Structure 1
Amino acid sequence: MRKTKLAVALVAVSTLALSGCQGVFGGSDKSGSDGPITLGMAIPMSGSSSAIGPYMKNGAQLAVDEINAKGGVLGRKLKLNVQDGACDPKTASTAANKLVAAGVTMSIGGYCSSATLPTLSVFNKANIPMIIPAANSADLVSQHLPNVFLINGTGVQQAQSAVTWLTKQQAKRVALVDDSTSYSTDITKRTKADIAKAGGSMKTVLHESVNAGESDYSSNVHDIVSARPDFVYWTGYYQEGGLIIRQLRQAGYKGKVMVADGSVDGKLISVAGQSTAQGVYATMTETPDTMPGAGDWIASYKKKFGAEPGPYSPQSYDAVRVAAKAMKDAKSTDGKKIEAALMKIDGFPLFSGKLKFTADHTLTEGGFVILEVKGAKFTLADDLKN
């Protein structure tokens, strides 16, 4: 059923992106300008999460080019302005201010939640709507800012997915490990609460926080192993995750490991070591190669960029499409009118399904699945393939 619904959504996505599009993106512009409409994107192009940046940039650029080839939005072409947020709060704030100074109409960036958080007020003060494709901490919407919209599942939904899988795997003793960032601690906190609510024989035996950016986690690993878990859930990013997985195995840990979506990247496998990473699970919104019916879109991406799409390429592609639809529906590039149009969207097809925002500006459905490391990549877990 899930695959059927997703395949239907992908057909609709392809139809909208590649057909005439005049009915979707046409209309009269109320802004009085005939220059390009600029979309801003603050994403990690440097730092430990820099592998994700090109995936997001390329996904967004593919949507921009497809829309422009069909006439643009409100009779104007779209333009993408990418600034490096480096997954660092200070750098991301600087990037956001650069985008505001450049006159962007909307923001479609945001990968690390801790770096995205300080950009919210920057864009809000400038009356710039934000469609965030990747960052998903509940802290992003806790301020109830009218300009902030998430098109990735939230930490609430990811925690629920994690506990459902832990239950299916008959986990008894779970160790939760985060990196002290907003995104990571949000997931561990909610997972711990959901485990308690689930009752039964499963319990949290350890909640450990590590310092991001270190190379030796032996002290944390000792604490984890000493707690005797049969399942470790790491909710931070791939660089530290890879090191912790490697050091856990070196310390003799024989249980199962699962990581959150910030660790779903081939770099985790290379840092941990391919043989060591085998069988590691992940809670993740679907990646291009796990999406049934995404072959044509993947082919278009590969033809344009000469490389495979990766994590958050589809979400970034969709962020541009949602931005374009909202401006068309609003018949304007005014931020407040765009925000109102975003809240009225009902059934617009994304890779994750049909879009409708909740009152908190999050997805009605989270769309998380379980991936598993096989060989040199993450793929849909065996138990979900039938």
Structure 2
Amino acid sequence: MRNPRRIGAVAAGAGLALLLAACGGGGITDGGPGEGATSGDIILGMLTPLSGGSAAIGPYMRNGGQLAVDEINAAGGVMGRQLKLVVEDEACDPKTAAAGAAKLVTAGTIVSVGGYCSSATLPTLTIFGKANIPMIIPAANSNDLVKDKLPNVFLINGTGAQQAAAAVEFMKSEGSKAVALVDDNTSYSKDITTRTAQNLKDDGSVAVASQQSVTAGESDYSAAVTAILRAKPDFVYWTGYYQEGGLLIKQLRGAGYTGKIMVADGSVDKQLVSIAGESNAQGVFATMTQTPQTIPGGDQWVATFKDKTGADPGPYSPQAYDAVRVAAEALKQANSTKGEDIITALKAIDGFEIFSGKLKFTEEHTLTEGGFDILVVEGSDFVLNK
């Protein structure tokens, strides 16, 4: 459930970027999207929520990506050229994300290093694919993203299948007997609950007392709360995002539910605690990939992040940072900005250090090491559950 963290190299900050600087340039012909260019900045495009209910995540990802760009450029760039990060809004909305992806293609994006909400990322697969632009997706992790085995799509976050497995392992370790599963009917959220329910049924030691979907963006989840209470679970697992998750927790506790509650990684944000109310959120668990504050030895990276960006890191800051670093490594190894060359280089990566360990992609272009930590709310934030 929890991978050993190999962050000594990662936390070294700018020193890592030295590994990414390449000598010389490639004999590449100027052309359209995905065909590369011989001069000018190498553009990395990032889609992240800058508006909507998940807008708080956008700055975390943008700052993480920009920190990596700045470090790499300070060390000489890639192939003698500088990287440039271009950011567009996805708003966790498919139409907004599609429009943003089209803008990034027009801007000359060489590699996409964004993607937070899976439902918003899905329609961008075709847009980037037609332009032959490799996608290194730092946050979105629904298995729907890789089910068609598109050659240009790579995930550096653990998948929904891996998160569901971690959730079930923890429920069992806590002695749960009956679980209520609640999602928001989006690709990311539904994927986790469906897989969690199947894993629980296959295991047989914990019953699925209730499984339901709610509509994101609503302010009253009393119908869902009533259904949960009637099912009498001792454990509730919410797999949507923090805005709705905070409301659900607040209303569950207000209705008298005293059992354990856990949320998925889309809800791991201080705002969930604020929305739920600090007293209601105490002890709420979460399945989550690494955050800078919970990685052993991550203090140096956090300090560098704050010094260079003027802001605190947050959820998906390290994944966005790593997405840029992986893109730079692939560009370096390919010695080319052509899409097909970068894709070949990404497939060949074996042992490149990122926050979650030594990177090697599976045949499905997911992480071979995709473990999830269990966090818990203490005070106003999530910390590593010990």
How big is the shift at 1:296? 1.4
TM value normalised by structure 2:
0.95
Give the 3 Å change call, closer, same or farther, for CA 19–41 of structure 1 in structure 2: closer
Q: What does residue 31 of structure 1 align with?
A: 28
1:90-144 deviation line (CA, Å, top 9, x unaligned)? 0000000000011110100000000000000000000000000000000000111
The correspondence for 1:85, drawn from 90, 103, 108, is 90
**In the alignment, what sits opposite 2:328?**
324
- 8 A Cα contact 1:274 1:375, kept in partner: yes
Q: Is the 8 A contact 1:152 1:315 kept in 2?
A: yes
Letter in 2 for 1:256: K
The residue type equivalent to 1:361 in the other structure is H
2:303 paired residue among 280, 284, 299 = 299
The residue number in structure 1 matching 2:247 is 243
Tell me how far apart the structure 1 counterparts of residues 338 and 203 of structure 2 sit (CA, whole Å).
46
Q: Which of 336, 346, 350 is residue 346 of structure 1 equivalent to?
A: 350
Q: What are the equivalent positions in structure 2 for 1:33-112 lying under 5 Å apart?
A: 33-112=38-117
Equivalent position to 1:252, from 253, 256, 269: 256
**Aligned: 1:281 with 2:281:** no
C-alpha deviation, 1:66, in angstroms: 0.1
Distance 1:115 1:64, change over 3 A: same
Once the 2 structures are TM-superposed, how far is the Cα of residue 299 of structure 1 from its aligned partner?
0.8
Aligned residues of 1:246 and 1:273 also touching (Cα < 8 A): yes
Over 3 Å counting, the alpha-carbon distance change for 1:114 and 1:23 in structure 2 is: closer
Find the residue that maps to 1:303 and give its secondary structure: helix
TM-score relative to the length of structure 1: 0.95
Contact 1:10/1:351 (CA < 8 Å) preserved in 2? Answer: yes
Match of 2:162 in 1: 157
* Deviations 1:190-229 (CA, angstroms, capped at 9, x unpaired): 00011112122x1101001000000001111100111000
Q: 1:368 to 1:374 in 2, by over 3 A?
A: same
Q: CA deviation at 1:294?
A: 1.2
> CA 1:253 to 1:20, structure 2 compared with 1: closer, same or farther past 3 Å?
closer
Q: Residue 94 of structure 2 aligns to which amino acid in structure 1?
A: P
The question of 1:129 aligning with 2:134 is answered yes
The code of the aligned residue for 2:252 comes to L
- CA shift digits 1:23-70 (9 cap, x unpaired): 654342233522000000011000000000000000000000000000
Q: Is the 8 A contact 1:24 1:328 kept in 2?
A: yes
Bigger fraction of residues in helix: 1
Amino acid at match of 2:284: V
Aligned CA distance change for structure 1 residues 310 and 17 (closer, same or farther; 3 Å): same
Report the Cα distance in structure 2 between the residues aligned to 1:205 and 1:23, rounded to whole angstroms.
50
Aligned mates of 1:26, 1:82 — CA distance in 2: 27
Identity of aligned residues (%): 62
Unaligned 5+ runs, structure 1: none
Q: Which moved more, 1:54-63 or 1:298-307?
A: 298-307
User: For the aligned residues, what is the CA RMSD?
Assistant: 1.5
Q: Secondary structure, in 3 states, of the residue corresponding to 2:86? A: strand
Equivalent of 2:7 in 10, 23, 37? 10
Aligned match of 2:383 in 360, 379, 386?
379
Q: CA deviation at 1:16?
A: 7.7
Question: Are the equivalent residues in 1 in contact too, given 2:12–2:300 (CA < 8 A)?
Answer: no
CA distance in 2, matches of 1:123, 1:198: 39
Output the CA distance in 1 between the equivalents of 2:22 and 2:200.
45
* 2: CA distance, partners of 1:273 / 1:25: 50
* Deviation of the 1:20 alpha carbon: 6.9
Letter in 2 for 1:228: K
Residue type at the aligned position of 1:134:
A
1:208 match: secondary structure = strand
Cα distance in 2 for partners of 1:359, 1:134 equals 19
Contact 1:234 1:259 in 2 (8 A): yes
Task: Please state how far the C-alpha of 1:12 moved relative to its aligned partner.
Answer: 2.0
Work out whether residues 25 and 325 of structure 1, in 8 Å CA contact, stay in contact via their aligned partners in 2: no
Query: How much does 1:19 deviate?
Result: 5.3
- 1:307 offset after TM fit, Å? 2.0
Instruction: Give the distance between the partners of 1:56 and 1:239, measured in 2 at CA.
Output: 18
Question: Which segments of structure 1 move beyond 3 Å, counting only runs of 4 or more?
Answer: 14-17, 22-27
The Cα shift of 1:11 comes to 1.6
Task: Identify unmatched segments of 5+ residues in structure 2.
Answer: 30-37
- Which one-letter code corresponds to 1:167 in the other structure? K
Query: Which string of whole-angstrom CA distances, capped at 9 and with x for unpartnered residues, describes residues 261-311 of structure 1?
Result: 000001100000011000000000011110111121111111012221000
Distance 1:338 1:268 in 2: 38
Question: What is the number of residues matched between the two proteins?
Answer: 378
User: SS at 1:290's partner residue?
Assistant: coil
Give distance in 2, aligned partners of 1:264 and 1:11. 25
Bigger shift: residues 20-29 or 291-300: 20-29
- Verify: 1:181 aligned to 2:186, yes or no: yes
